[in-house]
Structure 1
Amino acid sequence: MTTPNLAASEQIAIRDLLGAVNNDMDTPLRPEWERAAWSITRSAFIPERVYLGDQLVPCDRAGAPEAWLRAVYVDDSVVTQINDGEEPTDGDRWASSSASAPSIVFRMLHMLDVAPEQRVLEIGTGTGWNAGLLAYVAGSENVTTVEVDPLLASRARACLRKSGLGVEVIAGDGAMGHADGAPYDRLVATCSVRSVPRPWLTQVRPGGIILAPWESPWICYGLLRLTVDDGGTASGRFSPHSAFMLMRQQRTNLRIFRDVVRDDHQPDESTTILPPWQVAGEELAARFAMGLQLRDVWWTWHDNPDVEGVASRLWLATTDATSWAAVDWDGKSDTRWTVWQHGRRRLWNEVEAAHDWWALHDRPGPERFGLTVTATGETPWLDTPERHVPTSG
């Protein structure tokens, strides 16, 4: 495979991008991945239309080539599909597929530690660029990629073939893996998971690696790198990187006033001295620890609610919508907050207990946590697999 003939503007863009990637990495990018970046160009896989900014404004290559090229080669994710490919209704746009930031792409490839001739299963084909990079190192015949969206799968397959890569592209449910090609030496997901699909364990050989972005309903954050043993169990650590779109089969679509809170609910009132923004604010380590302990609890802020004496409210709810809590700040006090709770579970009490545990153990970040996955369950741990993290729910 030879390096394609590139316009001067694209050569400069790739060189600048690789510089940004190397600045972001803990160690220099391995030479084979640099060669892959030059040979398997990102522009060959990004669709003609992308969506920019918080408002997801369409940007077409034909109409705005410079803006399109900047979006392709900036070290950031670029949205490539909205609303699962459907036409937006009522102006409601939301990202449903994207090309990940190149720095996290290459960080994950480094963590995956792929060698030539190793068999790799990728979950979440997206544009196909990541599969193309894998094929450059492992060999096209050794890479299989699974994409749940048939249109995305078809487009990625065409892009890979046009680039001379015979990667097998499967349109199907990535949670099921692809048993026909097993066993694999490596399995990598480019969508986040809230639970590791059990078929992955049986399709990766003993000693093989599973690498997946992690999400809990509390926070989308972290990479999980598991090693599979010969008993069908996988165990490994988290690292503090990434935020990926959730695997479509694990999505939830809940809203507080539509699905959770009802007019006839009569919540119990209490107070707390734990500031709500300590568990649902800028402290990512705290939020990650909350998510590992409160595996089925999510939150949302409601600023300036139409409630007398309340400047801001933190809502909590279970993913089955049976229990909820609200924590109110009056805009003045910094020592005490009003708590409302309804349902079988006292969610704010669970949050306080989880935060106390985290603080008692020296406020650990994601890199101190790990997860052991078996056919029947998942056990989070701190520092070593023997130190289990308490969970609720």
Structure 2
Amino acid sequence: MTHANGATEQAVAGGLLRRLNETLPLTPEWTAAYEGVPRHRFLPDTVWLGDGLAPCDRRQHPGAWLRAAYDDEAVVTQINDGADPGDGERWPSCSASAPSIVFRMLHMLNVRDGDRVLEIGTGTGWNAGLLAHRLGSDLVTTIEVDPALAERAAENLKGAGLAPRVVTGDGAVLDMGHEWDRLLATCSVRKVPPGWAARMKPGGVMLLPWETPWLCYGLLRLVADADGSAVGTFHPHSAFMLMRGQRTDLRIFRDVVGDDHVPDERSTPLPPWSVTGDDWAAQFAIGLQIPDVWWTWHEGPDVEGVSARLWLATTDATSWAAVDYDGQTDDRFTVWEHGRRRLWSEVEAAHRWWRGHACPGPGQFGMTVAPDGRHTPWLGAPNWPVPRSK
């Protein structure tokens, strides 16, 4: 590294630190970790930027690459699980989270000197490096399901003079043998994997990005009890890639809708964009109530009189619904439903319940995870469960 390069890196890193302190002042311990574990040293030479996932190579575009390293934005560090997509679709499979959410989560985790911490989802290794700098490498274990990512992260950590334990495997099923004071996931979950709460010390904290098939949004902060249960509340403003073992790969016309399906027809006054648009609170509440339903828009379908169609389906692909917008009428929409369940009816009921409870936001909801793995979402307090579709 030349002196000029080093000075440039210090300058852009210092600029990000100032921006972080404007929104979430870092404690002296985390400031020292930020300065001692430079983010750019944990990024691969090629990252992918923007909605189109355009490749940015450090050797060809060093300035753009360094700016990406110290923007307060997520940086995609792997696509297509490491496979070459060729001319096919690119999709993100690993990223370095935006620094502001990284430090907000570390703040929420509230680690103390001597805490033993388990991280699920090593990724680049930067998060594990920050924790190891703060606590000491011997107190941090990080698990990565992708062998190539795990190997690269271990090299990154070694290069930074840190040596937390890096384990290759599925964090959803591995029993790491210890009892943990803190557990941090850097991938979203739709269910808390069995056994996580049971491996926590009483009073231990788990911080997990949350997702339903309806919406990827929010953080769930749980506190473990001695009986293997955990209870806690949701917090807004985050979106992470889903844990690989909980992914679903479904397409409406490939997997769900059959040529022989004859759906029932009716109409609805509920605009489909009311439950799929920018109202994250509505989407979050609906996702908690119908946790196995997903949706996708089909703009300009080849159907006479239909400008756009909203599709809904269950994750087991046995029931589906479609809501048609003709491009003009905004108070009545045609609904098609097929299968054992009437999915748009379930959405209408979920939306009606949410409005009837004064349109609560994600931060007003919580979750209880029982020792047997049952998940019970609630509004306001654990004794006020959220209704869920059967």
- Same structural fold, with TM-score higher than 0.5 when normalized by the shorter chain: yes
**Displacement, 1:205?**
0.7
Match of 1:207 in 2: 203
Letter in 2 for 1:264: D
Match of 2:389 in 1: 392
Q: Is the 8 A contact 1:328 1:339 kept in 2?
A: yes
**Displacement, 1:20?**
2.4
Rounded to whole Å, the distance in 1 between the matches of 2:175 and 2:32 is 29
Q: Is the 8 A contact 2:198 2:371 kept in 1?
A: no
**Displacement, 1:15?**
1.7
Unaligned runs of 5+ in 2: none
CA offsets 1:256-315 (integer angstroms, 9 cap, x no match): 000000111000000001111010111000000011001000000011111000011110
Rounded to whole Å, the distance in 2 between the matches of 1:169 and 1:302 is 43
Map 1:145-184 → 2, pairs under 5 A: 145-180=142-177, 182-184=178-180
Rounded to whole Å, the distance in 2 between the matches of 1:349 and 1:89 is 42
Match of 2:252 in 1: 256
> Equivalent residue of 1:198, what SS?
coil
Rounded to whole Å, the distance in 1 between the matches of 2:282 and 2:28 is 37
Unaligned runs of 5+ in 1: none
- Percent of residue pairs bearing the same amino acid type: 62
**Displacement, 1:178?**
4.0
CA offsets 1:229-249 (integer angstroms, 9 cap, x no match): 111100000000210000000
**Displacement, 1:179?**
2.1
Map 1:1-393 → 2, pairs under 5 A: 7-25=6-24, 28-180=25-177, 182-376=178-372, 377-393=374-390
Rounded to whole Å, the distance in 2 between the matches of 1:29 and 1:241 is 19
Give the TM-score of the pair, scaled to structure 2.
Answer: 0.97
> Equivalent residue of 2:43, what SS?
coil
CA offsets 1:1-31 (integer angstroms, 9 cap, x no match): xxx9982211221122122223343xx2212
Give the TM-score of the pair, scaled to structure 1.
Answer: 0.96
> Equivalent residue of 2:172, what SS?
helix
Give the aligned length.
Answer: 387
Letter in 2 for 1:165: L
Q: Is the 8 A contact 2:142 2:167 kept in 1?
A: yes
- Aligned pair in 2 of structure 1 residues 24, 177: CA closer, same or farther (>3 Å)? farther
Q: Is the 8 A contact 1:177 1:203 kept in 2?
A: no
Rounded to whole Å, the distance in 2 between the matches of 1:330 and 1:149 is 45
Rounded to whole Å, the distance in 1 between the matches of 2:83 and 2:180 is 34
**Displacement, 1:89?**
4.0
CA offsets 1:39-64 (integer angstroms, 9 cap, x no match): 10001111111111222121111111
> Equivalent residue of 1:179, what SS?
coil
Rounded to whole Å, the distance in 2 between the matches of 1:106 and 1:296 is 31
Rounded to whole Å, the distance in 2 between the matches of 1:62 and 1:332 is 52
Q: Is the 8 A contact 1:123 1:177 kept in 2?
A: no
Which stretch of the first structure deviates more once superposed, 314-323 or 7-16?
7-16
The alignment yields a C-alpha RMSD, in angstroms, of 1.3
Q: Is the 8 A contact 1:177 1:200 kept in 2?
A: no
